[in-house]
Amino acid sequence: MRALILALICAFAGAASAAKNKPPVQYQIPIPTLPDFSALDWLQGRWTGKTIPNSPPGDVQLSVSPDLEKHFLVFRGEVSLAATRTVPAAKESWMGILSASPDRTGFILRVFSSTGFITRYRLTADGAEVHLNPEGGDSPPPGWLFRMMWVRSGPDEFTETVQAAPPGKAFFDYYTAKFTRVPLPAKTRPAR
């Protein structure tokens, strides 16, 4: 019995000694490549606007900026619309996170609203136009669909058209707004 215990102690000591001589294993998680947001470079910054005639009167705000080592674009928006004959007044703040789609061939925008809804849009950029088409979400408005189109009309302006579809109905133009870029504050020179 003592011989067996002595043999096991020697075996374990030899194994421990061999393990000390092996280099440590280093594990590495491959990092996804950065999404190519270059088609949306023009959209980055702060924007302010108003709805156009034939839309409910209102104000809109938007800011777009890269975040988390440029793997995502963060959108923050505000919409404030007056009531009309057919639509009640609306005030909403929202935040969206744009990322590459799972297959990395396009973009997905996840939108979190002050109303509590969480929706998902497929974003496609085609020249001066950006289309956001609904793709469900964790908590979308029951039965309702919304889609948006941004059309760049100059280096510092674009229009946004938001369309809505009530349950079982076709899309209609909810509102159109014209945005202008908010200029960056002038850099001040330090006093001498």
CB distance 108 to 120 below 8 Å? yes
Q: Which amino acid is at 187?
A: K
State residue 24's pLDDT score.
86
CB distance 159 to 179 below 8 Å? yes
User: Residue 176 corresponds to which tokens in the numbers above?
Assistant: 């159109």
Kindly give the parts of the chain with pLDDT less than 70: 1-20, 188-192
How many Å apart are CA 189 and CA 109, to the nearest integer?
Answer: 39
CB distance 135 to 108 below 8 Å? yes
Q: List, as own/partner pairs, every contact residues 63-69 make where C-beta atoms lie below 8 angstroms and the sequence separation is at least 24, other chains included.
A: 64/40, 66/37, 69/34
State residue 103's pLDDT score.
86
State residue 36's pLDDT score.
94
**What is the 8-class DSSP label of residue 139?**
B
State residue 22's pLDDT score.
83
How many Å apart are CA 157 and CA 42, to the nearest integer?
Answer: 10
State residue 86's pLDDT score.
80
What is the three-class DSSP state of 184? coil
State residue 105's pLDDT score.
86
Domain 38-181: CATH superfamily is Calycin beta-barrel core domain (2.40.128.20)
State residue 21's pLDDT score.
76
State residue 184's pLDDT score.
81
Break the chain into its structural domains and give their ranges: 38-181
pTM score over 0.95:
no
State residue 191's pLDDT score.
64
